[in-house]
Structure 1
Amino acid sequence: MDTVHDINPDHAELARDLAGRGVKYAVAAWIDVLGRPKSKTVPIDHLPNMLAGSERYTPRGMGGIGHMNPIEEEVAGIPDPATLRVLPWDRRIAWMVADMSLSGREPYALCPRSILRKQVDAAADMGYVAQLGVEPEFYVFKPESLGPGAGRLIPMTLSEEIKPSPAYDVEASLDSLPFLDRVCSYLEEMDFGLFSFDAEGGEGQYEFDFAHGPVIESADRITLFRLAVRQAAKECGLLATFMPKPYPEMWGSGAHFNMSLEDESGQNMFRSEEGNNGWSKEAYQFVAGVMHHAPALTALANPTTNSYRRLVERLADGEISWAPTKISYGYNNRSCMIRLPANRPAIENRAVDSSANTYLTAAYMLAAGLDGIRQGMDPGQARDDLSYAAEADRLPRSLIDAVEAFQRDPLTAEVFHEHFISDYAEMKIGEWERANLEVTDRERSTYLLNL
């Protein structure tokens, strides 16, 4: 197959080196709109061709967006050699992340990584380097509880007797260590900079925290993290899910985004000894921009109908959900959408859930924050009360509300190609409509005999 670029002789040497280490295959994954990696697999001696852009795809309709079009131009996957690493759970495979390109001429409109890169470049034009850290949460279940008629999914480790919550419970973590240790080993070998892990508030729910980095690098890392978690679960005979809210009484799974800006010398631009409460003018303007565009951002940060089961004030049992519902900010207020934490120089967006595509969500959040700086926006007063009862604008209550806000916001057209906007909106509106067509058992028990 023809290549997009000339083959680099150094890549032949790289292929020989990897083969000498037992690597047999290479993948260069482009990321679909659902956040899943997609790639052809090539023999390792074909690695130089793959790096030159030899592998082509017809991604529409196969990446969670758009309609299949057999006559559409093929898209080339252009690997990023800086992302190459050998997968620790299968050392036969060399992993890379790829950008999607129309024959090497221009970025593909539906490529999440290219969309994020555009906003990274916009930040650079303003003298900033965008940084991101993500706190992913997920559930792990026993797969034998799956299937028709199987009933409720069984968490990996039952901790219902730990009241009021198994969050941070050492025994719950130790009981889950065969799985958690496997994940940790993979992350350490891939140089994730693991900080900590713990049992979270739901039965069978866990969170991992690791080093932040440049925003594209962090998005690449989350893609690989999700793959590693699923792989470790399968190896332990388990099922890992990043579904935001598997059951109504369970805690939702968030993926809090901790975003900051640095100057070109690496100096953080959000902290300031002379600023308000230690935060700079740019930090408050960035917060204001994210809040201003929050309804539109929600369509990406909370991209499923299930996402809105999480963005509620209380769980089904009446306990506080810890998820935000109002467009507000505070310094150590975990009921707000935005928190300005004391222990790190980054703003924390607590609305993002675990189903979000990291590239798309980061692109819009970064664009919103930069817009706040350009416009000199003011976020108003920080909240120090429980924000659920605050007189503040509410985050969208449903996927359809979020998508309509996404379509209305002028910033959307600056961040995304018109084809992405139309295809994404069509896909998500269809998802909402299909869910809204269902008549549930709860509706029948409430209305059938009473109306």
Structure 2
Amino acid sequence: MPRYTTSWISDLPEPFLDYLGERRLEEVEAIIPDTVGMSRGKAMPSHKFKPDETFFLPISLFYQTVSGEYVDMEIEDQWLEKDVVLRPDMSTASAAPWADDPTLQVICDMETREGEPLGVSPRNVLKRVLGLYADKGWKPVVAPELEFYLTKPNTDPNEPIEPPLGRTGRKGASRQAYSMVAVDEYGDVIDTIYDYAEAQGLEIDTVIQEGGAGQIEINLLHGDPLKQADHVFYFKRTIREAALKNGVFATFMAKPMRDEPGSAMHIHQSIVDTAGRNIFSKEDGSETDAFRHFIGGSQHYLMHVVPMLAPYVNSFRRFNAEGMSAPTNLEWGMDNRTTGLRVPNSKPGARRVENRVIGIDTNPYLAIAASLACGYLGMLNRIEPREIALHEVYESENNLPQGLAAALELFDEEHELRDVLGREFCQLYSDIKHAEHDEYKREISPWERQHLLLNA
């Protein structure tokens, strides 16, 4: 029998106990997803951790840009850096199988010291949206698709990112979508991902080669949005660690290479009632008003939350590249991959709406929350969608904003969504994104040095 030194260890999920085996648990990581979607928290020896313990971190961890710069905002006594509470959610307990010693990671909920959910916590933003659905007797179901690139280690930011060498010793070639040979090129990395996922109890639906050189897609199963966001959060760390173990990088940049397609995080969305019936389909299999209104709300409101779906300057390079498969619109169509909102071919019980606009560089909690919030408001306000797109859509009167600055203008002017997502969060998120954009505008790129230094 395993040598459990404390009783709570025996209550951990079966995949973790299988991973632990006869070994002694050495370390526990109490983690939270930050605004970017990266893990932050505290690591401690296992004997220091108790499931009912409260831990503390300064709220200022949410006041940083992706580069780590702190942002001055109109927050009263901002730099007192008051502590907020971390409460372990033991349903998320999972192995960290890349660690040298047996290690447990646990996602924590964040609260104020008065016991209220912390409004700026991304996980709480998603919980807030799911609570509004629950009040109506609805339960969203989502399935994320994760696209990412494996690359050669890039240690000089001034050098272009390149595909890695595969088992043949050759660089990956692009335009090999769905090729099993291309997947096999990186078999060692994928095998490690499978091993790590199994140790964590993370389920994978399918793995395919995408259209870019070294670009992989992992599809997850349909499930509860919070659980699936937790899984994406864990998977991103898992994939990075599996790549590093095999001497390559994994990147979740939306557009890491100039002449290769970008990487998305498509989200399939459906809604069930308290009896588990899909409210997008009638008993005779036809579409419901709720289905149309969910699409209508997505078309009407998603334009105003693009910074939550495409959070960086680089995100928009994915949209702006011609012939690279990323939709630039919010039209909808049946089994039409040129529209931002696609209704996949399915039986009535599985009728769903796929949001194809979301980039893989997003925080999964925020992207899922934003997408569901737009559909929720559409159903609440009974918004009818535009006419279905029956042909290819490359230009539309309702194209997405072409850059982060334009997207932030739309985000700042929309107030109905702020009531759904939380006004405190929306203001903080806007301030952070404006600061990141200002920081980017001060940067001098290699292109400018290459073409302007001696020619301008």
| Range into which the TM-score falls when normalised by the shorter chain | 0.7 to 0.9
- Distance in 2 (alpha carbons) for counterparts of 1:443 and 1:150: 14
Structure 1 residues 87 and 256: CA distance shift in structure 2, 3 A: same
Task: Determine the structure 2 residue equivalent to 1:270.
Answer: 280
Normalising by the residue count of structure 2, what TM-score does the alignment of the two structures yield?
0.87
1:78 aligned onto 2:80: no
- Matched residues, number: 429
Structure 1 residues 185 and 272: CA distance shift in structure 2, 3 A: farther
Task: Determine the structure 1 residue equivalent to 2:301.
Answer: 293
Task: Determine the structure 1 residue equivalent to 2:138.
Answer: 128
Of 305, 310, 315 in structure 1, the residue corresponding to residue 313 of structure 2 is 305
Residue 91 of structure 2: SS of its match in structure 1? strand
- Distance in 2 (alpha carbons) for counterparts of 1:368 and 1:428: 20
Q: Which runs of 5+ in 2 are unaligned?
A: 13-19, 73-77
Of 399, 405, 417 in structure 2, the residue corresponding to residue 400 of structure 1 is 405
| 8 Å contact kept, 1:12–1:47 | no
Of 173, 190, 198 in structure 2, the residue corresponding to residue 188 of structure 1 is 198
| 8 Å contact kept, 1:35–1:357 | yes
- Distance in 1 (alpha carbons) for counterparts of 2:373 and 2:430: 19
Q: Which runs of 5+ in 1 are unaligned?
A: 1-10, 315-319
Task: Determine the structure 1 residue equivalent to 2:41.
Answer: 39
Once the two structures are TM-superposed, the CA of residue 447 in structure 1 deviates from its matched residue by: 7.0
Task: Determine the structure 1 residue equivalent to 2:15.
Answer: none
Bigger fraction of residues in strand: 1
Counterpart amino acid of residue 393 in structure 2: S
Task: Determine the structure 2 residue equivalent to 1:6.
Answer: none
Once the two structures are TM-superposed, the CA of residue 406 in structure 1 deviates from its matched residue by: 1.0
Residue 271 of structure 1: SS of its match in structure 2? coil
Counterpart amino acid of residue 423 in structure 2: E
Residue 272 of structure 1: SS of its match in structure 2? coil
Structure 1 residues 41 and 441: CA distance shift in structure 2, 3 A: closer
Once the two structures are TM-superposed, the CA of residue 141 in structure 1 deviates from its matched residue by: 1.1
| 8 Å contact kept, 1:29–1:37 | yes
> Deviations 1:404-437 (Å, cap 9, x if unpaired)?
1111111332134433222221221122223233
> How much identity, in percent, do the aligned residues show?
27
| 8 Å contact kept, 1:34–1:63 | no
Task: Determine the structure 2 residue equivalent to 1:4.
Answer: none
| 8 Å contact kept, 2:158–2:446 | no
> Deviations 1:64-89 (Å, cap 9, x if unpaired)?
45648552321111111111122333
| 8 Å contact kept, 1:197–1:208 | yes
- Distance in 2 (alpha carbons) for counterparts of 1:71 and 1:430: 21
| 8 Å contact kept, 2:279–2:288 | yes
| 8 Å contact kept, 1:112–1:360 | yes
- Distance in 1 (alpha carbons) for counterparts of 2:96 and 2:403: 38
Residue 93 of structure 2: SS of its match in structure 1? strand
Q: Where in structure 2 are the equivalents of 1:41-440 lying within 5 Å?
A: 41-48=43-50, 51-61=51-61, 64=64, 67=71, 69-90=78-99, 92-103=102-113, 105-143=115-153, 145-147=154-156, 150-157=159-166, 165-272=175-282, 274=284, 278-312=286-320, 314=322, 320-343=323-346, 344-390=350-396, 392-440=397-445
- Distance in 1 (alpha carbons) for counterparts of 2:159 and 2:320: 28
- Distance in 1 (alpha carbons) for counterparts of 2:173 and 2:413: 45
- Distance in 1 (alpha carbons) for counterparts of 2:310 and 2:90: 31
Of 262-271 and 27-36, the range deviating more from structure 2: 262-271
- Distance in 2 (alpha carbons) for counterparts of 1:150 and 1:162: 19
Once the two structures are TM-superposed, the CA of residue 34 in structure 1 deviates from its matched residue by: 0.2
Residue 205 of structure 2: SS of its match in structure 1? strand
- Distance in 2 (alpha carbons) for counterparts of 1:103 and 1:192: 32
- Distance in 2 (alpha carbons) for counterparts of 1:216 and 1:93: 23
| 8 Å contact kept, 2:293–2:378 | yes
Residue 373 of structure 2: SS of its match in structure 1? helix
